[in-house]
Structure 1
């Protein structure tokens, strides 16, 4: 398996682990009465799963982005910004238009 795929799977696992901790803390501390709402609603377990799943997607994406950005080479100290070229400024030109009656 390629190294990048292994890295992605590892970061997704970490993201979903963080999501489980986050949702556990939300429900444990009863933030915005989530525990009572999930317990009293018929489909409360679906809400808990969706909260876990979508937070897992966000946390996994952030984990992967951070790990990719940290992979920059330390010896990449060259000039930054590319080659700047002059910008042409357009000059307005009068155009004759004949209009019929």
Structure 2
């Protein structure tokens, strides 16, 4: 079960890093897309795992997977937020997007 969790998290991190590296996306959109990409697609292998995690007997494994996902995803989110600190003004991005 640990190997399956690791594989799912690794796939999610690859997607998150790809989004974070897109120079054409505003920071707010990057954050939104990264967070939304964590949601499983209906009928996916990830959805099946999440359904299993919600069984009372799998509470410990569910907690373990959440902790691991947060630890792996946090540096990617931090990098996106640091993009603001490197000269991008998030308020201007929000204003431009909402027009």
Q: Given the two structures, how large is their TM-score scaled by the length of structure 1?
A: 0.34
Q: Decide which structure has the larger Cα Rg and report it.
A: 1
